[in-house]
Amino acid sequence: MSLFQKALSVFSFGSLQIVLGKAISLVNFAILVRLLTTEEIGIVGLAGGYIAILSFLLVSPESILIRDFKKISSRINEYISSYLQFILVRNGILFLIAVPLAWYISSIQSDSRLSLYFILLVLATLLNGFTGPFRESFYGLYRQARITFVDVLMNIALLVSMAALFFSRDVITYGFLQVSIAFISVLWWYWNARKHLHFRYQPKWNLSLAFQSLKGFGIWNHLSGSVIRLVYQVDIVVLGFFVSLEALGNYSVALTIANVFFVFPQMVQKILSLSFSQIENK
């Protein structure tokens, strides 16, 4: 298969993932809007805004695999293991930062559920971080079909789990559902990596590979992604200082629907980054 055919395959499956994933996410959000109060939707939106700010610290050394996968594929087990170790340390630091941040957020809006839901969302986000090295490794091999399969199935699992909200209509219940699905996702990605990438964890600690991967491309790629995410969600953080959770809930509905349409250009950029890095004829 030529490089162009590989890129076209990634684009096709990536487009399918976006369409199905966004469709399922919109159904999930529609269920939330129906079952939770407007104030609780505001809690979900405001917590997501602060996660966007926190994402600047969610540095991801595995992003280097987009550019250098071909060079380091022979040592992929060693690199992925180093990335997982780095993520474990990073997540511990971020959680320590998130605890006082949760207290600060609760002082802005007088709803005790806000801080607890924020902590649950942080846990779900940190757990999902462990899937990054596996996801980018499949991407480096142009195996977007596997990524699409895993992600769509996880979206469906979250959709099915939403049935719990019919019995416990509370934003905290939704937070626990997100953490549970994130934990299952980590286990399933690990299983996929062992089966399809023949991944074997290297227990020897070697954070130097992760830090080397962050230099240059890795850190700038992370910052550009964080800035884009912040641009999409920073306004709800600013509004949180001036309006009630009910007003934030109404705004979150419009913001969530509007942000559905900004994904395709980012996907094309990522495909081109991967493909240009593997062109041998300069």
Handedness of CA 193, 198, 203, 209 (dihedral sign): negative
pTM equals 0.83
Q: Which of 63, 11, 60 shows the shortest CA–CA distance to 277?
A: 63
What are the tokens at 128? 């999902």
pLDDT tens, N- to C-terminus, the chain (282 residues) = 666 666 666 666 666 667 777 778 788 888 888 888 888 888 888 888 888 888 888 888 888 887 777 788 888 899 999 999 999 999 999 999 999 998 888 888 777 888 999 999 999 999 999 998 998 888 877 787 888 888 888 888 988 998 888 888 899 999 999 999 999 999 999 999 999 888 898 888 888 888 888 876 677 777 777 777 777 777 887 888 888 888 888 878 777 776 665 665 666 666 666 666 666 666
Angle between the 76-108 and 112-129 helix axes, to the nearest 10 degrees? Answer: 170
CA distance 237 to 248: 9
- Closest to 5 measured CA to CA, from 67, 13, 72: 13
H/E element, 111: none
Q: Which of 128, 138, 141, 146 is nearest to 60 (CA)?
A: 128
